[in-house]
Chains A and B, each alone.
Chain A
Amino acid sequence: QVQLQESGPGLVKPSQTLSLTCTVSGGSISSGSYYWGWIRQPAGKGLEWIGHIYTSGSTNYNPSLKSRVTISLDTSKNQFSLKLSSVTAADTAVYYCVRLQLSPYFFDYWGQGTLVTVSS
């Protein structure tokens, strides 16, 4: 059974960079036809896709966040990471790491989510 676990600071100051890591257990992130990604959800609001990465390193980012987002893989640690730069209060949300399957697109495994608050 694949499990995903987010980790990282729960509080980030405005204008700084939000950094989160997702540790995957129960399977290798470098095997299989899967993408690994991030989704966020502000309190009381809907889900927002941030982006995803394939084992080859190719990425897709939400156009509205693309200029500020970087997703990367660390296959040696079976982890992938999210960096979101120049954060504001609008980036306060629960951040989920996910596994994405293609054809069709669906997210079959989710982390429990981690709340990141942007505040000085």
Chain B
Amino acid sequence: SSELTQDPAVSVALGQTVRITCQGDSLRNYYASWYQQKPGQAPVLVIYGKNNRPSGIPDRFSGSSSGNTASLTITGAQAEDEADYYCNSRDRSGNVVFGGGTKLTVL
């Protein structure tokens, strides 16, 4: 299967650490990338590859992977981190796959 599965919703207390996961068979062979999307805005890349952050992304965002699961960790979540988060990867045919998205609430 080339599908990626994410929890629909996750919450975290302000300043605490949260992990958002993404599961799928393709992740055994290919890295996931992660995107943050706030209401009415285009998604923004926050993590790609093994654990790389584009310029301008705070270092509280990090990525990891084990087996068929990729994780996005936010260490010390801030109010501005409240958003939808999507993972994506590829399958063996070179097609792109996206997770269904996780809505992060910062309490």
* Contact between B95 and A106, CB atoms less than 8 A apart: no
State the majority secondary structure of interface residues on B: strand
Query: Please, what's the 1-or-0 string for B68-95, where 1 marks a CB less than 8 Å from any CB in chain A?
Result: 0000000000000000001011100111
Closest CB-CB distance, A54 to chain B, in whole Å?
Answer: 10
Question: A46-B100, A47-B101 in contact; A107/B95 too (CB < 8 A)?
Answer: no
B96 within 8 A of A: yes
Stretch among A23-31, A69-77, A79-87, A108-116 lining the B interface: A108-116
Question: A46-B86, A46-B98, A47-B86 in contact; A104/B31 too (CB < 8 A)?
Answer: yes
* Contact between A106 and B88, CB atoms less than 8 A apart: yes
Which B residue's beta carbon lies closest to that of A97? B42
Inter-chain contacts of A112 with B (CB < 8 A): 42
* Contact between A105 and B90, CB atoms less than 8 A apart: yes
Inter-chain contacts of A96 with B (CB < 8 A): 42-43
Which B residue's beta carbon lies closest to that of A107? B45
Which B residue's beta carbon lies closest to that of A109? B45
Q: Could you tell me the distance between the alpha carbons of A107 and B49 in the complex, rounded to whole angstroms?
A: 11
Question: Number of A residues contacting the other chain (C-beta, 8 Å)?
Answer: 21
* Contact between A104 and B43, CB atoms less than 8 A apart: no
* Contact between A105 and B86, CB atoms less than 8 A apart: no
Q: Could you tell me the distance between the alpha carbons of A113 and B90 in the complex, rounded to whole angstroms?
A: 22
* Contact between A107 and B94, CB atoms less than 8 A apart: no
B106 within 8 A of A: no
From B30, B95, B98, contact of A104 by CB (8 A)? B30
Q: What are 14 A-B pairs at a CB distance below 8 A?
A: A46-B86, A47-B98, A49-B95, A60-B93, A96-B42, A100-B96, A101-B48, A104-B48, A104-B49, A105-B90, A106-B48, A106-B49, A107-B43, A110-B42
**Could you list which residues of chain B lie within 8 angstroms of chain A, going by C-beta atoms?**
30-31, 33, 35, 42-45, 48-49, 54, 86, 88-90, 93-101
**Could you list which residues of chain A lie within 8 angstroms of chain B, going by C-beta atoms?**
37, 46-49, 52, 60, 62-63, 96, 100-101, 104-108, 110-113
5 A-B pairs with the lowest CB-CB distances in the bound complex, closest first: A106-B33, A106-B48, A49-B96, A104-B31, A110-B42
